[in-house]
């Protein structure tokens, strides 16, 4: 009798999705100074999204990781057959119907990297999180202004609304969060929950409790640095910093 098919481990990342607007300058501007940048770039970012992409890349052979094409769930059949872990992103981006175009860029990038984006939602009227970054090229030092926007919509109470539908395309919109912490951590139960602190701390704490109740191990990156209650360190199986 053939043995049961081996289940692919699941990694769920609950966290931030931002667009990085980066200007490279000869020196950081002084108060009141207007200067012209040497170059400028727009790229997908956010600590949560970066964690998800890193996990997805590590879960596949190098050739597969570089040739993944996105689908509705963020993984094509060929890449999915080779992945050693299924990576799912849970977070929020801006509402395309309200004129936000950055959410499309973030979702498309995640899918192209093999990340399941069915847990990424678009609260009505919200904008995608933005990080304005100024890099001093001679020293490499940067200064960052973060505008969380949709990321801060991920309050604990919003996870109580469960819908049977989820965004099926980058331009889909949702008026409520369509995922539930208890659902995310039980159906199916992930093998690891990864978080950071670019989403509201109360949401992180609630997720830690849900993970504890569901027996799900947690990897918490306590960055950016904010005060945390003792329960955060006691409930996270391990932590890191960046």
Label each residue of the chain as H, E or C.
CCCCCCCCCEEEEECCCEEEEEEEECCCCCCCCCCCCCEEEEEEECHHHHHHHHHHHHCCCHHHHHCCCCCCCCCCHHHHHHCCCEEEEEEECCCHHHCCCHHHHHHHHHHHCCCEEEEEECCCCCCCEEEEEEEECCCCCEEEEEECHHHHHCCHHHHHCCCCCCCCCCCCCCCCCCCCHHHHCCCCCCCEEEECCCCCHHHHHHHHHHHHHHCCCEEECCCCCCCCCHHHHHHCCEECCC
pLDDT at 68 over 50: no
Question: Could you tell me the CATH number of the domain that includes residue 75?
Answer: 3.40.1190.20
Is the residue at 140 inside a domain? Answer: no
Is the residue at 3 inside a domain? Answer: no
Split into its structural domains, the chain has a count of: 1
pLDDT at 94 over 60: yes
More confident residue, 214 or 106: 106
Considering the chain, what percentage of its residues have pLDDT values greater than 70? 73
More confident residue, 192 or 60: 192
Is the residue at 214 inside a domain? Answer: yes
Give 14-58 pLDDT, tens digit per residue. 999 999 999 999 999 999 999 999 999 999 999 999 999 999 999
Is the residue at 139 inside a domain? Answer: no
Is the residue at 138 inside a domain? Answer: no
pLDDT at 142 over 70: yes
Give 73-93 pLDDT, tens digit per residue. 444 545 555 778 899 999 999
Is the residue at 136 inside a domain? Answer: no
pLDDT at 227 over 50: yes
Is the residue at 81 inside a domain? Answer: yes
Domain interval for residue 55: 10-17+47-127+148-239
Is this model's pTM higher than 0.85 or not? no
Is the residue at 142 inside a domain? Answer: no
pLDDT at 175 over 80: no
């Amino acid at each position: 009798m053939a043995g049961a098919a081996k289940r692919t481990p699941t990694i769920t990342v609950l966290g931030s999705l931002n667009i990085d607007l980066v200007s490279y300058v000869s020196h950081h501007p002084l108060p009141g100074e207007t200067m012209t940048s040497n170059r400028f770039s727009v790229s997908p970012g956010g600590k949560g999204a970066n964690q998800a992409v890193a996990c997805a890349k590590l879960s596949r052979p190098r050739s597969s990781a570089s040739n993944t094409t996105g689908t509705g769930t963020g993984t094509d059949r060929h890449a999915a057959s080779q992945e050693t872990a299924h990576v799912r992103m849970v977070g929020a981006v801006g509402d395309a119907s309200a004129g936000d175009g950055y959410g499309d860029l973030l979702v498309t990038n995640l899918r192209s990297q093999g990340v399941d984006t069915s847990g990424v939602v678009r609260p009505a009227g919200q904008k995608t999180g933005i990080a304005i970054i100024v890099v001093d090229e001679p020293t490499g030092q940067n200064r960052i202004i973060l505008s969380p926007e949709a990321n801060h919509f991920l309050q604990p109470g919003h996870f109580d609304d469960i819908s049977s539908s989820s965004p099926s395309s980058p331009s889909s919109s949702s008026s409520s969060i369509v995922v539930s912490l208890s659902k995310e951590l039980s159906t199916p139960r992930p093998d690891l929950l990864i978080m950071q602190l670019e989403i509201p701390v109360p949401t992180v704490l609630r997720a830690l409790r849900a993970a504890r109740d569901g027996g799900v191990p947690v990897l918490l990156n306590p960055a950016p640095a904010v005060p945390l209650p003792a329960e955060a360190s006691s409930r996270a199986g391990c932590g890191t910093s960046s």
